[in-house]
Homo-oligomer: A and B are copies of this chain.
C-alpha cells in the first residue's frame, strides 16, 4: 500500500540519491520535543478505546475537513449523546475519505493503517467496517497499549505540553513505572493571558501550589519561577508560548506593577496584550536563568467559529491564522536577550510571508534565535518544501531545529516524522544534483536535521 519511494521525485537520479539519504536516517530514533500527547496514556497504559476516538476525534485536520463539507461534529462523536456508536462515526469518516486526497492527512492515515495495523485495503465506505473491526481487535491486544507502541515507535524523547498549573501527576507516575524519556513542557498561557476565561483561577492555583501571593507581581513571578523549577525536576527542558500576536515589551518594574494591578481588576484588551508582551521578555529572562529553551508561536485567532465555540467549547479545529509582524514586535525582547548565547528562543509562524521577510533574517543574525519547523497547517510536504526554500539561503540549515510533530494523534507520530525525513532527503538530493552542496555534506547535514539539531536546541 505504501510505496517505498513516496514523496521522492520520479526521475531516477534524484530518487536514487533521495533513497540513499533516506536509508541513512530512516531508523534513527524519534525525538519529539513538542507535542500534545496525553501523559495519562503512558501513566495508566490502558488500551485505546476504539478507532474513532483514537484516530479521528483528536485530529483537528480530520474534524475540520469533514466539518467543512457538511459533516456535523456530533455525528463524529464530538459533543454526541452517550449512546453514540463510534462505528457510525468511523463509517462517516470512511465515506468522506476522498476529501483528503493530496493532503497530509491521507499520507499519515495510510501510513498508520498499513504500517501500524497491517491493513492492506484502502479505506472507503466499502471497507469501513472490516477495517474498524481489524483495528478494534488489535487495540485489545497488549502490543497496542500505549507503552508497547511507544517502544515500537523507537521514540527517544517525547515532550508533552502542560499548563503551568498542571500537577504533572501522570509524569510522576511515568518516571516511576515506565522509565522512558517522556517529559513535560511548561506552557503558562492561561496564567498570563488575562483574556483567558480561567485566568483568575490559574492565579489562585499558582498561589496554592507555591505559597506565593500571586496578587502581587513579585509573588506572581516567584510562583512562575517555582513552577518552572518543578517542571524541570520532572525532566522539562522547554517552555511553550502561544499568543495572538508577536508583540513583546520590556516595562519598568513600576509600570509592570501598575499594569498587573489593573489586570487583576478590570483589564482592557490593550492591558492584556501589553502584559502578555511584557511577560514574554520576563520568560526570556527566566530561561536565561534556568536554561529552559523557549518556544514562541504567535498568530492564531483561536475558536473563530462562534456557534461551534458556544455549543462545544474550545479547540474544535476552528483556529484561523492571521498576518504576522516580527521585526518590530520582537525588538524589546531581542534588545534585552537577543545576543545571549545561553538562551534559545525558537520561533514558529502561521504566516509564511514572514519566512523570507522577517524570520530567516532575524534567525540568521541573532545568536538567541532559532527557526522552528513548518508549523501546524504547514506541516505538510509542500509546506515543508516552502519552509526550506524560503529560509535556507538566508538563515542556513543550522539555525533550524529539526522537526516537531506537534500532534495529539499519537499513532501518527512515526508517519509525521517519516514525511519530514523524506522531504529533507528529497530537497538535499535535489541540491546535490544541482551541485549546490556535495554528497558528503548532504549525508552529514541530514544527520543534523534529523537528530542532532533538535537535541541541541532543546538541550536533550
Are B14 and A13 in contact (CB-based, < 8 A)? Answer: no
With a cutoff of 8 Å between Cβ atoms, the chain B residues found around residue A119 in the complex are none
Give bound CA distance, A227 to B360, whole Å: 38
Q: Contacts of A2 on B, CB cut-off 8 Å?
A: 435
Q: Which of A312-347 contact B (CB under 8 A)?
A: 317-323, 325, 327-328, 331, 334-335, 338-339, 341
Q: What's the tally of chain A residues with a CB closer than 8 Å to chain B?
A: 92
Q: Choose from B122, B335, B351 the contact partner of A353 (Cβ within 8 Å).
A: B351
Cα separation A272 to B75 with both chains bound (whole Å): 43
Are B331 and A304 in contact, with the CB atoms below 8 A?
Answer: yes
Is the CB of A3 closer than 8 A to any CB of chain B? yes
Q: Are A364 and B65 closer than 8 Å at their CB atoms?
A: yes
CB pair B397 A102 closer than 8 Å: yes
- Closest CB of chain B to A388's CB: distance in Å? 9
What is the CB-to-nearest-CB distance from A341 to chain B, in angstroms, rounded to a whole number? 5
Tell whether A69 is near chain B: CB-to-CB under 8 Å.
Answer: yes
Q: Which residues of B contact A364 (CB under 8 A)?
A: 64-65, 68
CA A230 to CA B338, docked complex, whole Å: 44
CB distance from A328 to the nearest CB of B (A): 7
Can you tell how many copies of this chain the complex includes?
3
Max chain B Cβ within 10 angstroms of own Cβ: one of A100, A380, A398, A434: A434
Asked whether any CB of chain B lies closer than 8 Å to the CB of A58, the reply is no
Is there contact, CB below 8 Å, between A362 and B320? Answer: yes
Scan A347-379; emit 1 where CB is below 8 A from any B CB, else 0: 000111100111011111111010000000110
In the complex, are the beta carbons of B353 and A396 less than 8 A apart?
Answer: no
Q: A3-B435, A102-B393, A317-B365 are in contact. List 18 more A-B contacts (CB 8 A).
A: A5-B435, A7-B434, A67-B365, A68-B364, A69-B367, A69-B399, A101-B437, A101-B445, A102-B431, A104-B393, A305-B365, A321-B361, A322-B327, A351-B353, A351-B357, A356-B383, A382-B393, A386-B389
